[in-house]
């Protein structure tokens, strides 16, 4: 569906190029990633990106249920994205919505190319993503957290998948849109990629951009992905340093 810019009394970006939350156009929101936060999961991660707060838990490889979904030559990889009823200002139904089903598929498609699925035939890996607080860009933050959780679970991967969105707000191209920018801006362009392989696994766009703006927006999103990729690696290193220290003690 085409994004139609809406009128708002609040200025999203001023003449100096400063956004409503004080960021410059090419700045990410403050981002924190923690690894190994769910004790009963095979792998887990937690991300705070701006006001977004998202948990991801990985379970598997395990036996496939229902059995008829079993694949003889590869793993069955599934992601479930869900928003908690209290994650948004107006309470949402706890039942999965059409949007949640759609984003579950999108996240699965974005991450699956990074996994060596052929090494685990007749098995399943499930990723459960719970959005505790939402403030725009939850699909990208969910991809980022889910990929780290898979690495924490020891699933063989070609590379981590990092995700970030760029877009157009008030005539300016900006990085990592927050909720009000996503809703009131002219365009939103989520990108997921494996930075070490320079391979894009997800590219979507909602809204309208000129061809030169589109190229600039993609490059801006890729820059954001690379910054998030560095945070993913730092979080994983911190996790394994902590595990090593605990084992040695």
Place of tokens 């705070």: 48
The whole-number pLDDT of residue 10 equals: 57
Is the confidence at residue 6, as pLDDT, over 70?
no
CA distances from 114 to 14, 35, 159, 176, 195 (A): 40, 19, 6, 23, 11
Domain 31-248 has CATH 3.30.230.70: yes
Instruction: Give the pLDDT confidence score for residue 66 in this predicted structure.
Output: 92
Classify 180 as helix, strand or coil: helix
pLDDT for 1: 46
Question: How many whole angstroms separate alpha carbon 113 and alpha carbon 35?
Answer: 22
Q: Please tell me the distance from the alpha carbon of residue 192 to that of residue 199, in angstroms, as a whole number.
A: 9
The first and second tokens of residue 87, run together, are: 């994650």
Question: Residue range 111-119: average pLDDT?
Answer: 97
* 56-81 mean pLDDT: 95
Q: Would you list the domain boundaries of the chain?
A: 31-248
Question: Beta strand pairing status for 43-49 and 199-203?
Answer: unpaired
pTM as predicted: 0.92
| Distance, CA of 103 to CA of 134 (rounded, Å) | 14
């Amino acid at each position: 569906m085409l994004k139609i810019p809406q009128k708002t009394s609040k200025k999203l970006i001023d003449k100096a190029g400063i956004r409503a939350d004080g960021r410059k156009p090419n700045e990410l929101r403050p981002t924190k990633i923690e690894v190994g936060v769910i004790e009963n999961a095979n792998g887990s991660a937690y991300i705070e990106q701006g006001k977004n707060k998202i948990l991801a838990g990985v379970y598997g490889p395990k036996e496939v249920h229902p059995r008829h979904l079993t694949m003889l030559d590869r793993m069955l990889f599934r992601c479930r994205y869900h928003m908690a009823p209290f994650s948004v200002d107006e309470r949402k139904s706890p039942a999965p919505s059409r949007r949640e089903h759609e984003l579950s598929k999108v996240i699965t498609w974005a991450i699956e190319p990074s996994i060596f699925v052929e090494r685990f035939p007749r098995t399943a890996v499930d990723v459960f993503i719970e959005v505790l607080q939402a403030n725009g860009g939850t699909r990208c933050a969910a991809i980022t957290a889910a990929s780290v959780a898979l690495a924490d679970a020891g699933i063989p991967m070609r590379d981590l998948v990092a995700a970030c969105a760029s877009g157009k707000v008030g005539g300016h191209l900006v990085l990592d849109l927050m909720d009000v920018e996503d809703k009131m801006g002219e365009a939103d362009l989520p990108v997921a990629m494996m930075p070490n392989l320079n391979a894009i696994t997800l590219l979507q766009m909602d809204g309208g951009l000129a061809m030169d703006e589109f190229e600039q927006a993609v490059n801006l999103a890729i820059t954001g992905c690379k910054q998030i990729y560095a945070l993913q690696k730092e979080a994983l290193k911190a996790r394994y340093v902590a595990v090593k220290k605990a084992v040695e003690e």
